[in-house]
């Protein structure tokens, strides 16, 4: 294989046995491996972070099943390109060959009309669609298309996976194995990879190509030096995507409007999808600000709607306003903590029965069985409140919501003490 190709491409696995990571999908007996080995593959969407094997897996599926393989990138393909690919696939049917695989990279960037143009071909079996996305397909893929696809979630690669990839690169690559390479320290190269195999191999290739010594020794210090000299501003296709959005979210959560706006600017200048930024602000408003300032969620949702309608360049101002508002807002994660604790209780306790007095009683038989009996209608009591149990008997005194120490939730705490003094008098 030509060494003019990037190292990541030269080392791209050609079979499932060469594929590293994602054992929950392609390990022995795993669901996707069994599907591939059966020879029958349905349309599917591979959802996961960059550099974990989505494109590689699609190519392996096509090679293993001996299917024609067409590929489109959502960045530079339009409806016309989709229709041309479908027409090619239709012509294959005359030769009694299995239907081709159409691989669409970054399918979340396809517009509704582009996605609509795929529906008929997928439904009729003209093509088997494999889409790759770094974004939640529930938000970015239209429902009719999503309902015709299986969604498989790929994970960041683990340390042992990345170490194995490094070892294979040094020992097996036609170019690297001719050099004397010693990886003396790997913490920095693994950390900068962030679980991304492509980034890992790009960093390795960068470090090796920058060293003309007879023996190349890779240390943490050398990796950091090389990256500081060559690190790009921002890669909207994934290389620094997660690092920058992480810095942005942590700056807002930490109450620093200056850092938050800086990271926002980095994303906008790098070409990040403004809808992605707006969606993350909505999540942050609920998760990190929550009940300390309920208006934050309303503003974030308004921002999300406005960004969809307006687009760049004006939407940068809307995003800036929302970012500064959220960064300077009081913070609380009590709602997030409450649902986390409640879900844990459900997992630990199972499906506990609903207390009879708060069950629905639409039929005479249910009423005779005690459904709804002794239920107290809150509005019939002074202050529209009456003390009664709403949780299952086994966990009736369990507390999930703990008001935090901010002005808004101090008021909530006092109200809860008035209503449920016995439960909230010892609020942690």
Structure confidence by residue, pLDDT tens digits, 15-37: 998 999 999 999 888 999 999 98
Nearest alpha carbon to residue 277 among 341, 234, 228, 334: 234
Give the pLDDT confidence of 115-129 residue by residue, as tens digits.
Answer: 888 888 888 888 899
* Secondary structure of residue 285 in the 3-state scheme: helix
Give the pLDDT confidence of 32-60 residue by residue, as tens digits.
Answer: 999 998 888 889 999 988 889 999 999 99
Give the pLDDT confidence of 315-324 residue by residue, as tens digits.
Answer: 999 999 999 9
Assign 103 a pLDDT band (cuts: 50, 70, 90).
very high
- The answer to whether 128 and 101 are in contact (CB under 8 A) is yes
Has residue 240 got a pLDDT over 80? Answer: no
Domain 241-327 has CATH 1.20.272.10: yes
| Protein fold of 22-153 | Rossmann fold (3.40.50)
Assign 93 a pLDDT band (cuts: 50, 70, 90).
low
**What residues does each domain of the chain span?**
22-153, 159-230, 241-327, 346-424
Burial of 26 (C-beta count, 10 Å sphere; 0-12/13-18/19+): buried
Give the pLDDT confidence of 347-359 residue by residue, as tens digits.
Answer: 888 778 888 777 7
Percent pLDDT > 90 in the chain is 27
Average pLDDT, the chain: 84
Sign of the torsion formed by the C-alpha atoms of 30, 35, 39 and 41:
negative
Assign 231 a pLDDT band (cuts: 50, 70, 90).
low
Rounded to 5 degrees, φ, ψ at 199 are: -65, -40
- We find that the CATH architecture of domain 159-230 is Orthogonal Bundle (1.10)
Domain 346-424: which CATH class? mainly alpha
Dihedral angle at the C-alpha atoms of 166, 168, 172, 176, nearest 10 degrees?
0
């Amino acid at each position: 294989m030509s060494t003019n190709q990037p190292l990541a491409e030269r080392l791209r696995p050609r079979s499932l046995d060469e594929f590293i990571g994602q054992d929950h999908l392609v390990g022995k007996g795993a669901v996707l491996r069994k599907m591939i080995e059966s020879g029958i593959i349905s349309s599917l969407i591979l959802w996961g972070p960059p550099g974990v094997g989505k494109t590689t897996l699609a190519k392996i599926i096509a090679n293993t099943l001996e299917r024609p393989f067409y590929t489109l990138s959502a960045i530079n393909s339009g409806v016309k390109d989709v229709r041309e690919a479908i027409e090619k696939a239709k012509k294959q049917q005359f030769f009694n060959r299995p239907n081709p695989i159409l691989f669409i990279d970054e399918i979340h960037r396809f517009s509704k009309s582009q996605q609509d143009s795929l529906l008929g071909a997928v439904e009729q079996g003209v093509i088997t669609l494999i889409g790759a996305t770094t974004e939640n397909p529930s938000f970015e893929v239209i429902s009719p298309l999503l309902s015709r696809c299986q969604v498989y979630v790929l994970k960041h690669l683990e340390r042992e996976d990345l170490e194995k990839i490094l070892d294979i690169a040094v020992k097996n690559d036609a170019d690297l194995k001719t050099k004397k390479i010693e990886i003396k320290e790997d913490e920095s190269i693994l950390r900068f990879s962030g679980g991304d195999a492509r980034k890992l191999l790009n960093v390795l290739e960068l470090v090796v190509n920058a060293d003309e010594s007879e023996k190349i020794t890779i240390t943490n210090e050398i990796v950091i030096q090389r990256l500081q000299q060559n690190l790009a501003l921002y890669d909207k296709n994934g290389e620094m995507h997660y690092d920058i959005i992480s810095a942005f979210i942590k700056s807002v959560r930490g109450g620093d409007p200056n850092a938050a706006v800086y990271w926002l600017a980095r994303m906008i200048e790098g070409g990040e999808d403004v809808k992605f930024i707006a969606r993350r602000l909505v999540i942050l408003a609920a998760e990190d600000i929550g009940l300390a300032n309920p208006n934050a969620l309303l503003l974030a949702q308004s921002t999300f709607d406005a960004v969809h309608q307006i687009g760049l360049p004006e939407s940068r101002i809307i995003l800036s306003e929302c970012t500064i508002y959220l960064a300077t807002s009081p913070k609380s994660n009590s709602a997030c903590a409450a649902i986390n604790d409640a879900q844990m209780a459900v997992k630990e306790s199972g499906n506990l029965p609903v207390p009879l007095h708060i069950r629905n009683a639409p039929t005479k038989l249910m009423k005779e069985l005690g459904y709804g009996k002794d239920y107290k209608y809150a509005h019939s009591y002074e202050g529209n409140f009456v003390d009664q149990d709403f949780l299952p008997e086994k966990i009736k005194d369990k507390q999930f919501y703990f008001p935090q120490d901010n002005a808004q939730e101090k008021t909530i705490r006092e109200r809860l003490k008035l209503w449920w003094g016995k439960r909230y008098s010892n609020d942690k």
